[in-house]
Structure 1
Amino acid sequence: MNTQEIVQKLWNLCNVLRDDGITYHQYVTELTYILFLKMMKEREEEDSIPEEYRWDRLTSLHGEELYQHYRRLLTDLGTQGSDPLVQQIYRNASTNIDEPKNLEKIIRSIDGLDWYSAREEGLGNLYEGLLEKNASEKKSGAGQYFTPRPLINVMVKLIDPRPGEKCNDPAAGTFGFMIAADHYLKEKYDEYYDLEPEERTFQKHEAFTGCELVQETHRLALMNARLHGIEGKIHLGDTLSSLGKEMGEMDVILTNPPFGTKRGGERPTRDDFTYPSTNKQLNFLQHIYRALKANGKARAAVVLPDNVLFQDGDGKSIRADLMDKCNLHTILRLPTGIFYAQGVKTNVLFFERGTTDTGNTEEVWFYDLRTNMPSFGKRNPLTEAHFDGFIQAYTASDRSRVQDERWSRFTREEIRAKGDTLDLGLIADASLSVYEDLPDPIDSAEEAIGKLERAAALLQDVVSELKAAGEGRK
């Protein structure tokens, strides 16, 4: 049995809980509480869990006794014990399951899965597959914090994190970017066995960090990181508050910040932003380029919606500040439909922090992966192969020699002359060409009005004649 089959079996258990009125997201959270105990047993890491709350004890109970034990377990693991990770995962935990029989069925079903295959395939991959399944269900609402894996992998590959670098995601979600960065490095360095012992320790405990605002999502991120062997700090809180100032001097930032405005139209509580805005993405962008080391090597790849590229006022000032402090060398215009919120138009900004605060961007290269692209969705999923042309252009030793109509360049002077807008680089839309031979719409409308007026006049003449004929008969 492979990971996908096990994930599907786990997901099918959600049907057991329908009568309890449990949502998809609540189900994944509930599974996390139970799976953590099972996976700690499978990894032989149960020392961090009090003996009375370990997996074998859970499977030895039945009915109401099991249900009451489980409720105590959630409370005690969130408030007691010496392992801080366990406490964080179970902090403020409570069950949404009302029926003891449903809880018992889930525990028995999980216990009966093919855990040998799960271990072989990787427990972290199993859990991440579950998160991806949740995100793909529109009813779950989880797509808001789930970036498509092919996009994450391409961003990581092009940013190219290295051993010893501090990597961060200030809007961590389920920690997908950092897990992908860790996987990328493990593949290059033989699961870190090519590194010195102190380097391996750094990679496990310090290399990958993040921050997540929503406690339920933070819980999933902690579980995901632990199952992938990552024990870096994942803050629970708001990056746009003073907490964000603790996440500075980073070598690499990879992230997809939340879209929208701050609740109530409030501005961030950070006192180090030059241009505090009600727009979350603009504030995250400020945080990101300020959090990078000013050494000419620190770099970031950030998913941002179109409005960041053209918004006036604070947006214009922040874009100018970004291009001063950083070398904003590449913008990828992403296809629509790759996120679960339909119609969202997004981009990836790639930039490097300069050693000075002015004049770091001389030119920006754009790649249009949006126009004349197929419609993406469940039936036609986005794959890494769709990025092949972009990767070839991005990595070219001489970008000016790349022959690709989707690839274009604008100098800093040209961008400044356009009012510092970055809403550039889109090619002609072929779907509009069918309208090129059509007459001018104003002329067509005026002609139609004239025809209607003449028709109305003719009808009026007919009515007049009929009236006259009627008068004559009288």
Structure 2
Amino acid sequence: MSTVTHDIVQKLWALCNVLKDDGVTYHQYVTELTYLLFLKMAKETGTEDQIPKGYRWDDLVTSQEPQRLTEYKRALLALGESRSRLVREIFASADTILKKPVTLTVLIKGIDSLDWHTARREGLGDLYEGLLQKNANEKKSGAGQYFTPRELIASIVTLMKPTLNDTIQDPAAGTGGFLVAANQYIREHEQPDNWTTEQRRKYRRNTFFGLEHVQDTHRLAVMNLLLHEVDVDPSASGIYYGDALGPDGEALCKRGATLILSNPPFGTKKGGGLPNRTDFTFPTSNKQFCFIQHIYNGLKPGGRAAVVLPDNVLFEGTVGKQIRADLMDKCNLHTILRLPTGIFYAQGVNTNVLFFTRGEDDKNNTKEVWVYDLRANMPQFGKRTQLTREHFTEFEAAFGKDPLCSPKSLAKRKDTGKHGRFRKFSRTWIEERGESLDIAWLKDEGDVAGVDLPEPGLLAQEIMAELEGAFEELRGILGDLGEDIEEAQA
């Protein structure tokens, strides 16, 4: 992010102070800003034709202050019923949290006074990403769960090397970071100006697909794609509002993908029920195990995936053991990256990236698993210690240049031994230890003094996640014994 863009982000974020007296949360503020920024940016980019006259930025600016809030509310309702799918998705179920006309006036004047000429030159997408990151960094906003660190995304996308030939999915799209980064990679490494009509059609209609089931977050994702100029045909592709653990996800899975990039939500399905899908071989209320089934079943033969998952996915028994075995049968699970702590502070859990390639058949595809430990003897990341792109440099070099990680490519890797960060483990060895992929060998010798330790509430969330996993295993045992869980609880 340039200095100019950073300054604009700071000024926009400072406007949130205006709303403190109204009890507005940071996440609500970013949503409110999205409505106003969409109208302003439509004017700045000359795309106001999709917004009906009477509801445009200048209409809002020139309205009389006593009636301005009323006019704004009327505009939100009207735009939520727009003929344009893009406008409709931005303003779907839109409702302002503003209570005073004067507050709206301050926001409008603040936005209008910014250097939009420079902002356009620097990139409107970077400006919006800056706002999303500020929101994610505020622990009380709860938005960290929707925001994957962009340094991690950049590393993953660099290794997976998306191309125009790919059909790319993210079933848990959040604010759209993976799809935005994949689009940037494609446009930087190919020559869009030389694409044929058929290639452009493929790019717009059959390249980027995502699902997000939280409407406010979906709104932010659509805006993020728009400002990053991800040129999708909204009638055929883009990020849809829908539940990946329901029929929407089942339809997405059937469509198939050659590349899936995702950071699924942690925890169990709301209410503890099973997903409303008929295509899962191993039904479970654990969201991560549901998503990983969606991902490896949704990959076309030869397709590749990189998925961020918490530690419990690597070791939980019963259904987890079955799903890991199924994954390693159907795919070549060639690499696991153990991520440093503190990256996903909102959950307070340790995480990993699983890299795998779907086999041409469904048996014995994983022969060996390489584990890179980027967690031991690393800083505790947080506000005082920032994660940077350089932290992934050595891992990327060890991973290699082949996004599919063919046997020939894996043969070039070097096992660094028990004192190094990169080691190889055979499928037979993993099977003998109960299909557990929770593999660690380095002793963490770091001094915890002065380190950003997780807050008690975050540690409690991690403990809850482990307990939920234990309960899931007990349910599986009772099911194997033919016992009814309700009767056992009684």
CA distance in 2, matches of 1:186, 1:359: 36
Match for residue 424 of structure 2?
409
Aligned to 2:438: 423
Work out which of the residue numbers 243, 254, 270 in structure 2 matches 1:238: 243
Amino acid at match of 1:363: E
Work out which of the residue numbers 335, 338, 347 in structure 2 matches 1:333.
Answer: 338
| Match of residue 180 from structure 2 | 179
Structure 2 SS opposite 1:69: helix
| 1:272 and 2:312 matched | no
Q: Secondary structure at the match of 2:257?
A: coil
Query: Using the alignment, how far apart are the partners of 1:356 and 1:256 within structure 2?
Result: 26
How far has the Cα of 1:374 moved from its partner?
1.4
Match of residue 43, structure 1, among 42, 45, 69: 45
Of 11, 14, 17, the match for 1:15:
17
C-alpha contact (below 8 Å) 1:367/1:425 kept by paired residues: no
**Match status 1:60 vs 2:75:** no
Whether the aligned pair in 1 keeps the contact of 2:398 and 2:413 (CA below 8 Å) is no
User: Partner letter of residue 136 of structure 2?
Assistant: A
- Note the aligned Cα RMSD (angstroms): 1.5
Q: Where in structure 2 are the equivalents of 1:138-217 lying within 5 Å?
A: 138-190=139-191, 192-217=192-217
| Separation in 1, partners of 2:94, 2:392 | 41
Paired residue type of 1:427: L
Aligned to 1:102: 103
* Alignment map for 1:326-365 (pairs within 5 Å): 326-341=331-346, 343-365=348-370
Structure 1: how far apart are the matches of 2:284 and 2:43? 47
Larger radius of gyration between Structure 1 and Structure 2: 1
Query: How many equivalent residue pairs?
Result: 428
The reply on whether 1:254 has 2:256 as its aligned counterpart is no
| Secondary structure of the corresponding residue to residue 52 of structure 1 | coil
Structure 1 residues 400, 57: CA separation in 2 closer, same or farther (over 3 Å shift)?
Answer: closer
- Give the AA of the match of 2:298: A
Q: CA deviation at 1:203?
A: 2.1
Equivalent residue number for residue 369 of structure 1: 374
Instruction: Note closer, same or farther for the CA distance 1:205–1:225 as it changes in structure 2 (3 Å cut).
Output: farther
Quote the offset at 1:403 in angstroms: 4.1
Identity %: 55
Q: 2:73 is matched with which residue: 34, 56, 71?
A: 71
CA deviation vs aligned residue, 1:47-102 (integer Å, no higher than 9, x gap): 100011111111111312211110000000001x3211101111111110001000
C-alpha distance in structure 1 between counterparts of 2:139 and 2:172, whole Å: 21
Change in Cα spacing, 1:43 to 1:360, as seen in structure 2 (3 Å) is same
8 Å contact from structure 1 (residues 393, 399) kept in 2:
no
| Pairing of 1:106-117 with structure 2 (within 5 A) | 106-117=107-118
Q: Deviations over 1:135-181 (max 9, x none)?
A: 11112111011111110000111111111211011000000110011
Change (3 A) 1:52 1:274: same
> Alpha-carbon deviations, 1:86-124, whole Å to 9, x = none?
011111111100010000110111011000010001111
Counterpart-to-counterpart distance in 2, 1:259 and 1:399:
35
| Alpha-carbon distance in 2 for matches of 1:11, 1:272 | 44
Instruction: Tell me the secondary structure at the aligned position of residue 300 of structure 2.
Output: coil
Which consecutive residues of structure 1, in runs of 5 or more, have no partner in the other structure?
433-474
| Residues 19 and 103 in structure 2, CA contact (< 8 A), matched pair in contact too | yes
Question: Are the aligned partners of 1:206 and 1:233 in contact in 2 as well (CA < 8 Å)?
Answer: no
CA–CA distance in structure 2, aligned partners of residues 201 and 136 of structure 1: 38
CA distance in 2, matches of 1:205, 1:130: 29
Q: Distance in 2 between matches of 1:426 and 1:66?
A: 63
Residue 310 (structure 1) aligns with: 315
Structure 2 unmatched ranges of 5 or more = 402-408, 448-490
Match of 1:135 in 2: 136
Q: Is the aligned partner of 1:383 residue 2:383? A: no
Amino acid at match of 1:158: L
Partners of 1:134 and 1:74 lie apart in 2 by 23
Alignment of 1:30 onto 2:32: yes
Residues 371 and 439 in structure 2, CA contact (< 8 A), matched pair in contact too? yes
- Between the aligned partners of 2:46 and 2:349, the Cα distance in structure 1 is 44
Q: Secondary structure at the match of 1:70?
A: helix
1-structure distance, mates of 2:125, 2:379:
32
Against the structure 1 CA distance between its residues 163 and 280, is the aligned structure 2 distance closer, same or farther, given a 3 Å change threshold? same
**Alpha-carbon distance between aligned partners in 1 of 2:298 and 2:59, rounded to the nearest angstrom:** 46
The Cα offsets for residues 414-433 of structure 1, whole Å up to 9 and x where unpaired, read as 1111111001144222359x
1:393 aligns with 2:398: yes
After superposition, the C-alpha distances for 1:192-243 in whole angstroms (9 at most, x for unaligned) are 2242233233323431110001001011111111112222332212101111
CA distance in 1, matches of 2:189, 2:238: 24
Q: TM-score, normalised by structure 2?
A: 0.85
AA matched with 2:118: S
User: Does 375-384 or 113-122 show the bigger shift?
Assistant: 375-384
CA distance in 1 between partners of 2:444 and 2:28 (Å) = 42
Give distance in 2, aligned partners of 1:186 and 1:89.
25
The whole-number CA distance in structure 2 between the counterparts of 1:15 and 1:107 is 14
Alpha-carbon shift at residue 353 of structure 1 (Å): 0.6
